Amino acid sequence: LYKINVLHLHLSDDQGWRIAIGRWPRLTAVGGSSEVGGGPGGHYTPEEYGRIVAHAASRQVTVVPEIDMPGHVNAALASYPALNRDGTAPPRYTGIDVGFSSLCANMPITYRFVEDVVRELAAMTPGPYIHIGGDEAGSTPPADYRTFIERAGRIVVEHGRFPVVWAEATAVPLPPGAVAEYWDTAVGRDSLDQAVRAGVRVVLAPANRCYLDQKYDSGTPLGLTWAGPTSVESAYEWDPAGYGVPDDRVEGVEAPLFSETLATMGDIEQMAFPRLPGIAEIGWSPWAAHDWSSYRRRLAAQAPRWEAMGLNFHRSPEVPWP
């Protein structure tokens, strides 16, 4: 609909593991049975995931699966005691804190785990990328972090894919063809500058512009505020060329929508629309053609289509809806 050609699926986190891995069945039996707030969780079977990949391919959309490591792994650690340094599984986690869990970089079982997960994901996903995370690994010692990211990146390459990482991971040498995703505007552009120096390709997803899980304004009932609020205009009025990345290394833009505080598809639709079309337009149109005044009128003209589709879009007062 809006020329978006990549679907990035964040398939693991502290609160849940969302994709079945045949050699590690407890990842979903245990790790997939929790979610933020204490609900039942859930996961994709290989068949369900395959249908997503096929549906995306029929619309020329590439799926990029992410298994976030070495942090954000409490669901995996809760599933398998052997992945823990002390051999004791932590309880499942349903809160929203970050930076407390970590895989152990000096344990052989860690890399058997990574190898199995990457191999099965590569078999299920025909696209060229596998995302290995790398963000918010606050409890991973720096030397262990470096060891892990280097080895996990090599494993991805061994399975014929390019690794994608959150921009923090560019502190570590990455294989040729790696892609870094810039997101954390709360701490400035250090990780982005680091990615530029590393010479990797960059996906721009500045959280204060692109994160669709942020409130539209202070009165919005849904959403978070750590990078926002982010109005419809703010999500549209930014230039990827203004972030200091050489043009030939800008891989694209992304509009992440983390759903830990969203309960229904209607909630997701309300947070995505009407901001998503503007971020998509930034990805394929020249900055010189951008004009908020004309864009808001073009955006308003989408309302009848969304209504016909049954989308629960947010009727922002910034847009002159019909």
Radius of gyration of the chain measured on its C-alpha atoms:
20
The reply to whether the predicted model has a pTM over 0.85 is: yes
- Looking at domain 6-262, its CATH architecture is Alpha-Beta Barrel (3.20)
Q: Report pLDDT for 1.
A: 85
Q: Report pLDDT for 58.
A: 98
- Three-state SS at 174: coil
**Mean of pLDDT values over 133-143:** 98
**Mean of pLDDT values over 249-254:** 98
**Residue 208, CA atoms < 13 Å, CB-side half-sphere:** 10
Distance CA 103, CA 124 (A): 24
Cis peptide before 70 (omega within 30 of 0): yes
- Specify which residues 65 forms β-bridges with: 9
Tens digit of pLDDT for each residue in 141-174? 999 999 999 999 999 999 999 999 999 999 999 9
pLDDT band with cut points at 50, 70 and 90 for residue 186: confident
Q: Take residue 48 and report the two structure tokens written for it.
A: 């369900």
Active site residue 136: yes
Tens digit of pLDDT for each residue in 292-316? 999 999 999 999 999 999 999 999 9
Distance CA 175, CA 157 (A): 8
- Please pick, among 35, 66, 120, 136, the residue that the annotation labels catalytic: 136
What is the average pLDDT value for the chain, to the nearest integer? 98
